Amino acid sequence: MKGAPSTNRLEPQAPRVIALLNQKGGVGKTTSTANLGAAFALAGLRTLVVDLDPQSNLSLHFGHEPAPDQATVRDLFMNPEVDASQLIREARANLWFIPSDTELALVEGELALIPDMQHILAQRMASVMGSFDVILLDCPPSLGVLTVNALTIADEVVVPTQAQYLALRGLEKLLETVLLVQRALNPKLKVAGVLLCMHESQSSHGKAVVEEMDNYFSSFRGSDLPWQDAIVLRPAVRRNIKLAEAPSFGQTIFDYAPTCAGAADYRALAEALRARWKPLLSDPALVATAGTTAL
Protein backbone atom coordinates (compact mmCIF):
# COMPACT_ATOMS: atom_id res chain seq x y z
CA MET A 1 0.00 0.00 0.00
CA LYS A 2 1.57 3.23 -1.19
CA GLY A 3 2.35 5.48 1.79
CA ALA A 4 -0.55 4.08 3.79
CA PRO A 5 -0.26 2.93 7.40
CA SER A 6 0.86 -0.58 8.08
CA THR A 7 -1.75 -2.04 10.31
CA ASN A 8 -0.44 -3.98 13.27
CA ARG A 9 -3.93 -4.75 14.40
CA LEU A 10 -4.84 -8.36 14.79
CA GLU A 11 -8.42 -7.52 13.92
CA PRO A 12 -8.98 -4.42 11.81
CA GLN A 13 -11.72 -2.24 13.30
CA ALA A 14 -14.28 -0.20 11.44
CA PRO A 15 -13.20 3.43 11.27
CA ARG A 16 -15.51 6.33 12.05
CA VAL A 17 -16.42 7.76 8.62
CA ILE A 18 -17.53 11.40 8.53
CA ALA A 19 -18.82 13.20 5.44
CA LEU A 20 -18.41 16.98 5.53
CA LEU A 21 -21.24 18.12 3.36
CA ASN A 22 -23.05 21.25 2.31
CA GLN A 23 -24.30 21.87 -1.23
CA LYS A 24 -23.58 25.56 -0.72
CA GLY A 25 -20.08 26.59 -1.77
CA GLY A 26 -17.46 28.34 0.34
CA VAL A 27 -18.90 27.49 3.76
CA GLY A 28 -15.78 25.86 5.27
CA LYS A 29 -15.99 22.17 4.24
CA THR A 30 -12.41 21.83 3.00
CA THR A 31 -10.89 23.97 5.77
CA SER A 32 -12.73 21.85 8.33
CA THR A 33 -11.80 18.52 6.69
CA ALA A 34 -8.09 19.39 6.61
CA ASN A 35 -7.88 20.84 10.09
CA LEU A 36 -10.19 18.40 11.84
CA GLY A 37 -8.19 15.64 10.16
CA ALA A 38 -4.96 17.16 11.45
CA ALA A 39 -6.46 17.52 14.94
CA PHE A 40 -7.53 13.84 15.00
CA ALA A 41 -4.06 12.81 13.80
CA LEU A 42 -2.36 14.89 16.50
CA ALA A 43 -4.62 13.23 19.06
CA GLY A 44 -3.17 9.88 17.95
CA LEU A 45 -5.93 8.63 15.65
CA ARG A 46 -4.90 7.19 12.31
CA THR A 47 -6.73 9.52 9.99
CA LEU A 48 -7.47 9.43 6.27
CA VAL A 49 -8.93 12.44 4.45
CA VAL A 50 -10.42 11.97 1.00
CA ASP A 51 -10.86 14.80 -1.48
CA LEU A 52 -14.10 14.24 -3.39
CA ASP A 53 -14.18 17.73 -4.88
CA PRO A 54 -12.95 18.43 -8.44
CA GLN A 55 -11.68 21.81 -7.17
CA SER A 56 -9.06 19.66 -5.40
CA ASN A 57 -8.32 22.23 -2.70
CA LEU A 58 -7.81 19.76 0.11
CA SER A 59 -4.32 18.66 -0.95
CA LEU A 60 -3.09 22.25 -0.81
CA HIS A 61 -3.48 22.22 2.97
CA PHE A 62 -0.83 19.47 3.08
CA GLY A 63 1.60 21.12 0.66
CA HIS A 64 0.73 18.71 -2.13
CA GLU A 65 0.62 20.19 -5.63
CA PRO A 66 -1.42 18.15 -8.11
CA ALA A 67 0.73 16.49 -10.81
CA PRO A 68 -0.72 15.50 -14.21
CA ASP A 69 0.39 11.86 -13.96
CA GLN A 70 -0.67 11.23 -10.35
CA ALA A 71 -3.42 8.76 -9.61
CA THR A 72 -6.35 10.43 -7.92
CA VAL A 73 -9.80 9.72 -6.60
CA ARG A 74 -10.98 9.99 -10.22
CA ASP A 75 -9.12 6.74 -10.99
CA LEU A 76 -10.84 5.19 -8.02
CA PHE A 77 -14.22 5.92 -9.56
CA MET A 78 -13.43 5.23 -13.21
CA ASN A 79 -10.96 2.35 -13.19
CA PRO A 80 -12.12 -0.96 -11.67
CA GLU A 81 -8.47 -2.12 -11.53
CA VAL A 82 -7.61 0.59 -9.01
CA ASP A 83 -8.28 0.38 -5.32
CA ALA A 84 -7.75 2.99 -2.66
CA SER A 85 -4.49 1.50 -1.37
CA GLN A 86 -2.75 2.69 -4.56
CA LEU A 87 -3.79 6.29 -4.05
CA ILE A 88 -3.10 6.99 -0.41
CA ARG A 89 -0.35 9.51 0.35
CA GLU A 90 1.18 10.36 3.64
CA ALA A 91 0.63 13.97 4.75
CA ARG A 92 1.84 14.07 8.36
CA ALA A 93 2.33 11.63 11.24
CA ASN A 94 -0.94 9.65 11.56
CA LEU A 95 -2.45 11.59 8.63
CA TRP A 96 -2.98 10.32 5.07
CA PHE A 97 -4.95 11.67 2.13
CA ILE A 98 -6.32 10.73 -1.26
CA PRO A 99 -6.02 13.61 -3.75
CA SER A 100 -8.57 14.72 -6.30
CA ASP A 101 -8.17 16.32 -9.71
CA THR A 102 -10.18 18.70 -11.85
CA GLU A 103 -11.26 15.90 -14.20
CA LEU A 104 -13.29 14.45 -11.36
CA ALA A 105 -15.94 16.89 -12.62
CA LEU A 106 -16.43 14.60 -15.64
CA VAL A 107 -17.07 11.63 -13.41
CA GLU A 108 -20.49 12.84 -12.29
CA GLY A 109 -21.92 12.41 -15.79
CA GLU A 110 -20.09 9.17 -16.56
CA LEU A 111 -21.04 7.54 -13.27
CA ALA A 112 -24.70 7.95 -14.01
CA LEU A 113 -24.27 5.24 -16.67
CA ILE A 114 -22.68 2.69 -14.34
CA PRO A 115 -24.93 0.19 -12.56
CA ASP A 116 -24.63 0.30 -8.78
CA MET A 117 -22.87 3.65 -9.05
CA GLN A 118 -23.78 4.66 -5.47
CA HIS A 119 -21.52 1.93 -4.09
CA ILE A 120 -18.32 2.52 -6.05
CA LEU A 121 -16.50 4.36 -3.26
CA ALA A 122 -17.59 1.70 -0.76
CA GLN A 123 -16.28 -1.09 -2.98
CA ARG A 124 -12.92 0.49 -3.82
CA MET A 125 -12.25 1.70 -0.26
CA ALA A 126 -13.13 -1.62 1.37
CA SER A 127 -9.56 -2.93 1.48
CA VAL A 128 -8.16 0.08 3.34
CA MET A 129 -10.93 0.90 5.80
CA GLY A 130 -9.50 -1.28 8.55
CA SER A 131 -6.20 0.64 8.55
CA PHE A 132 -7.76 3.83 9.90
CA ASP A 133 -9.52 5.09 13.00
CA VAL A 134 -11.18 8.03 11.26
CA ILE A 135 -11.95 8.79 7.62
CA LEU A 136 -13.07 12.29 6.62
CA LEU A 137 -14.73 12.87 3.24
CA ASP A 138 -14.52 16.39 1.79
CA CYS A 139 -17.63 16.56 -0.43
CA PRO A 140 -18.14 18.86 -3.41
CA PRO A 141 -20.72 21.66 -3.11
CA SER A 142 -23.50 19.61 -4.71
CA LEU A 143 -25.83 16.73 -3.91
CA GLY A 144 -24.77 14.66 -6.95
CA VAL A 145 -23.31 11.19 -7.44
CA LEU A 146 -20.01 11.89 -5.65
CA THR A 147 -21.87 13.09 -2.58
CA VAL A 148 -24.21 10.09 -2.66
CA ASN A 149 -21.15 7.81 -2.77
CA ALA A 150 -19.79 9.60 0.30
CA LEU A 151 -23.11 9.24 2.14
CA THR A 152 -23.21 5.54 1.28
CA ILE A 153 -20.07 4.85 3.34
CA ALA A 154 -20.45 7.50 6.04
CA ASP A 155 -21.44 6.90 9.65
CA GLU A 156 -22.22 10.55 10.16
CA VAL A 157 -22.64 13.83 8.35
CA VAL A 158 -21.20 17.10 9.61
CA VAL A 159 -22.61 20.19 7.89
CA PRO A 160 -20.24 23.15 7.84
CA THR A 161 -22.31 26.31 7.56
CA GLN A 162 -22.67 29.94 8.58
CA ALA A 163 -25.22 31.21 11.06
CA GLN A 164 -27.38 32.90 8.42
CA TYR A 165 -31.08 32.62 7.80
CA LEU A 166 -30.67 31.21 4.27
CA ALA A 167 -28.42 28.45 5.60
CA LEU A 168 -31.40 27.00 7.45
CA ARG A 169 -33.37 26.65 4.25
CA GLY A 170 -30.46 24.92 2.47
CA LEU A 171 -30.22 22.57 5.43
CA GLU A 172 -33.70 21.20 4.81
CA LYS A 173 -32.77 20.21 1.24
CA LEU A 174 -29.56 18.57 2.46
CA LEU A 175 -31.44 16.60 5.11
CA GLU A 176 -33.88 15.34 2.47
CA THR A 177 -30.94 13.88 0.54
CA VAL A 178 -29.51 12.32 3.68
CA LEU A 179 -32.88 10.73 4.42
CA LEU A 180 -33.14 9.27 0.92
CA VAL A 181 -29.67 7.73 1.16
CA GLN A 182 -30.23 6.49 4.71
CA ARG A 183 -33.50 4.79 3.78
CA ALA A 184 -32.31 3.30 0.47
CA LEU A 185 -28.60 2.63 0.88
CA ASN A 186 -27.10 3.16 4.32
CA PRO A 187 -29.30 2.55 7.38
CA LYS A 188 -26.52 3.50 9.83
CA LEU A 189 -26.17 7.05 8.45
CA LYS A 190 -26.74 9.82 11.00
CA VAL A 191 -26.40 13.58 11.02
CA ALA A 192 -24.02 14.72 13.77
CA GLY A 193 -25.00 18.35 13.32
CA VAL A 194 -24.01 21.68 11.89
CA LEU A 195 -20.57 23.12 12.34
CA LEU A 196 -20.53 26.91 12.42
CA CYS A 197 -17.53 28.16 10.44
CA MET A 198 -16.23 31.73 10.18
CA HIS A 199 -18.45 32.40 13.18
CA GLU A 200 -18.96 35.89 14.59
CA SER A 201 -20.48 35.36 18.00
CA GLN A 202 -21.29 39.04 18.53
CA SER A 203 -23.71 39.34 15.62
CA SER A 204 -27.32 39.45 16.82
CA HIS A 205 -28.55 37.88 13.57
CA GLY A 206 -26.04 35.06 14.11
CA LYS A 207 -27.23 34.51 17.68
CA ALA A 208 -30.85 34.36 16.55
CA VAL A 209 -30.04 31.83 13.81
CA VAL A 210 -28.04 29.62 16.18
CA GLU A 211 -31.01 29.61 18.56
CA GLU A 212 -33.31 28.71 15.69
CA MET A 213 -30.97 25.88 14.64
CA ASP A 214 -30.86 24.59 18.23
CA ASN A 215 -34.65 24.61 18.40
CA TYR A 216 -34.96 23.04 14.95
CA PHE A 217 -32.81 20.05 15.90
CA SER A 218 -34.41 19.73 19.36
CA SER A 219 -37.79 19.32 17.68
CA PHE A 220 -36.64 15.99 16.16
CA ARG A 221 -35.56 14.28 19.41
CA GLY A 222 -37.21 10.90 19.70
CA SER A 223 -38.06 10.74 15.99
CA ASP A 224 -36.65 7.99 13.78
CA LEU A 225 -34.96 10.45 11.45
CA PRO A 226 -31.18 10.35 10.86
CA TRP A 227 -30.88 13.80 12.50
CA GLN A 228 -32.76 12.87 15.69
CA ASP A 229 -29.56 13.41 17.74
CA ALA A 230 -28.12 16.25 15.64
CA ILE A 231 -26.94 19.41 17.38
CA VAL A 232 -25.24 22.68 16.66
CA LEU A 233 -21.72 21.42 17.31
CA ARG A 234 -19.66 23.32 19.85
CA PRO A 235 -17.37 25.11 19.76
CA ALA A 236 -18.12 27.15 16.66
CA VAL A 237 -15.03 27.88 14.57
CA ARG A 238 -14.40 31.60 14.83
CA ARG A 239 -13.47 33.66 11.80
CA ASN A 240 -9.69 33.61 11.88
CA ILE A 241 -7.52 34.85 9.04
CA LYS A 242 -4.80 32.31 9.86
CA LEU A 243 -7.16 29.54 8.71
CA ALA A 244 -7.38 31.20 5.30
CA GLU A 245 -3.62 31.82 5.12
CA ALA A 246 -2.38 28.36 6.14
CA PRO A 247 -3.14 26.50 2.84
CA SER A 248 -1.20 29.06 0.81
CA PHE A 249 1.87 27.83 2.74
CA GLY A 250 0.91 24.18 2.24
CA GLN A 251 0.18 23.89 5.95
CA THR A 252 -2.56 22.88 8.33
CA ILE A 253 -3.42 25.33 11.08
CA PHE A 254 -1.38 23.22 13.52
CA ASP A 255 1.74 23.66 11.39
CA TYR A 256 1.14 27.31 10.60
CA ALA A 257 -0.21 28.86 13.80
CA PRO A 258 -0.70 26.21 16.47
CA THR A 259 -1.66 28.67 19.21
CA CYS A 260 -4.19 30.74 17.24
CA ALA A 261 -7.96 30.70 17.84
CA GLY A 262 -8.53 28.60 14.70
CA ALA A 263 -6.23 25.84 15.98
CA ALA A 264 -7.87 25.93 19.40
CA ASP A 265 -11.35 25.69 17.85
CA TYR A 266 -10.55 22.72 15.59
CA ARG A 267 -8.73 20.91 18.41
CA ALA A 268 -11.71 21.35 20.74
CA LEU A 269 -14.14 20.38 18.02
CA ALA A 270 -12.27 17.15 17.27
CA GLU A 271 -12.48 16.29 20.98
CA ALA A 272 -16.18 17.14 21.09
CA LEU A 273 -16.91 14.93 18.07
CA ARG A 274 -14.96 12.06 19.57
CA ALA A 275 -16.88 12.39 22.78
CA ARG A 276 -20.08 11.73 20.87
CA TRP A 277 -18.84 8.43 19.42
CA LYS A 278 -20.40 5.76 21.60
CA PRO A 279 -17.38 3.48 22.11
CA LEU A 280 -15.43 6.40 23.52
CA LEU A 281 -18.10 7.58 25.92
CA SER A 282 -16.42 5.65 28.68
CA ASP A 283 -13.49 8.10 28.56
CA PRO A 284 -14.50 10.75 31.15
CA ALA A 285 -11.84 13.23 30.01
CA LEU A 286 -13.37 13.42 26.55
CA VAL A 287 -16.94 13.60 27.77
CA ALA A 288 -16.03 16.51 30.04
CA THR A 289 -14.81 18.59 27.09
CA ALA A 290 -17.87 18.00 24.92
CA GLY A 291 -20.33 20.77 24.34
CA THR A 292 -19.07 22.97 27.17
CA THR A 293 -17.76 25.89 25.14
CA ALA A 294 -20.24 28.70 24.60
CA LEU A 295 -20.64 30.04 21.07
Ligand X SMILES: Nc1ncnc2c1ncn2[C@@H]1O[C@H](COP(=O)(O)OP(=O)(O)OP(=O)(O)O)[C@@H](O)[C@H]1O
Binder of residue 240, out of ligand X, Mg ion, none (CB less than 5 to 8 A by kind): ligand X
Asked whether position 53 contacts ligand X by CB under 6 A, the answer is yes
Give me the least distance between CB of 60 and ligand X, in Å please: 10
The residue with its CB nearest to Mg ion is 30
Helices (H), 94-141: 104-111, 120-125
- The upper half-sphere exposure of residue 219, i.e. CA atoms within 13 Å in the direction of its Cβ, equals 6
From 5, 15, 28, 37, residue interacting with ligand X (rule: CB under 6 A): 28
Question: φ and ψ at 256, to 5 degrees?
Answer: -80, -45
Cβ atoms of 124 and 83 closer than 8 Å = yes
CA distances from 108 to 4, 62, 74, 177, 283 (A): 27, 26, 10, 17, 42
Q: Considering beta carbons, is residue 15 or 160 the nearer one to ligand X?
A: 160
Asked whether position 162 contacts ligand X by CB under 6 A, the answer is no
Asked whether position 161 contacts ligand X by CB under 6 A, the answer is no
Angle at 191 between CA 186 and CA 194, to 5 degrees: 150
From 88, 198, 268, 269, residue interacting with ligand X (rule: CB under 6 A): 198
Distance CA 295, CA 194 (A): 13
For ligand X, the binding residues in 235-274 under the rule CB under 6 A are 237, 239-241, 243-244, 262
> Residue count at the site for ligand X (CB under 6 A)?
21
Q: Considering beta carbons, is residue 33 or 47 the nearer one to ligand X?
A: 33
Written as one letter, the residue type at 167 is A
Q: Considering beta carbons, is residue 27 or 41 the nearer one to ligand X?
A: 27
Residues within the interface to Mg ion (CB under 5 A) = 29-30
